Chains A and B, each alone.
Chain A
Amino acid sequence: MADIARRDLLTMAGVVGVGVAIPVAPATAEAAPKDKVQDGPAANASARCYQFFDLNEVAFIEAFVDHLIPADELSPSGTELGVTIYIDRQLAGAWGRGARMYLLGPWPAGTSQQGYQLPLAPADLYRSAIRAVEAHCEAVHGGSFDRLQPAQRQQIMLALSDGSLRLQQIPAQVFFDMAYANVMEGLFADPIYGGNKDKRGWRLVGFPGVMAAHAENIERFRGEPYLVEPLGIADLS
């Protein structure tokens, strides 16, 4: 894969500061250094239009998701599977804005057994946490999260996941746990939500999807592989 960052492509395309990605204009792309354009994921990038994440956040979340779900012989990267689009849509929608959460104060710190106690809806938590992680990366590594070496990124991810990374104001592990759960949702939820592209998440594990009349299959396939083309909600709608 190219080491070109998505941010660079968008900068080249002259759309810095615009919250949604605009297809890279061919003329602009030609003006860019050739090697970058040729192996840059321009086509894929242009297909991803974000509703919630801003340009810097896109760079972060794509790097974050692709660190968890890298492209390898088992699947394309999380970003290519639509996981970042899934998260973006969730954060832009009712869930991200705190639907079905009790968010009234006061908000004193609680014990871990008392669970989530921040005054933030998920979208606000992401925004604050990404800013805090980026500030840490700049301060410690002198660059943004998406530009770190894989080993440095792994170190950050581990420290986020075990809570040992001290972020300004935001508990790292609370953010990581939410984002990790969202990545898994984006990989395995029905494709109507924007992730699990081509049902690659389901194919990875062999989940057959929404067709599930197994009253006979449970005997016929007891102990035997049940191999079918997975179907999603859209396939039957």
Chain B
Amino acid sequence: MSLVRARAEYWQAVGEVLDPEVPVLSVVDLGIVRDVREEDGTVVVDVTPTYSGCPAMRVIEDDIRAALHRAGAGEVRVNTVFQPVWTTDWISADARERLRAYGIAPPSGSAAVATELVPLLRRAPVVPCPACGSTRTEQRSEFGSTACKAIWYCPDCRQPFEYLKAI
């Protein structure tokens, strides 16, 4: 009984940790927290990385530890798990809307499985502009300011914007 109550408290504490690079989404919104549990008095948090080289992961681990200590946890262990593999498909509709309102276009559709390498045979995703909703947008680069974002351009706003890549 006490274990269930503690879990809820700890889940809530972890749920308040924001992604340092996308500070409108919590690490739970993103789906990178896979489990929070207690093992012999230690709070264990299973975390799955977004991108292999994402430098925010270490900051996120430190923030999770600090949030749990504030919520009264003693020993905390952050455990990295690799399966199932993180996908942007796990980001909820509500979180997607917050992302858009913040100015970052949310992932379009679900993460593609296969990839076409010949550029002219490839179909780009439709990514509505987060500011005006235009669908006449175009990709400028598949790589952006962080590992998870691409650079897009809206001809109607005449502004570039960031897109959280479907992966």
Q: Do A and B bind each other?
A: no
Chain B interface residues toward A at CB < 8 A: none
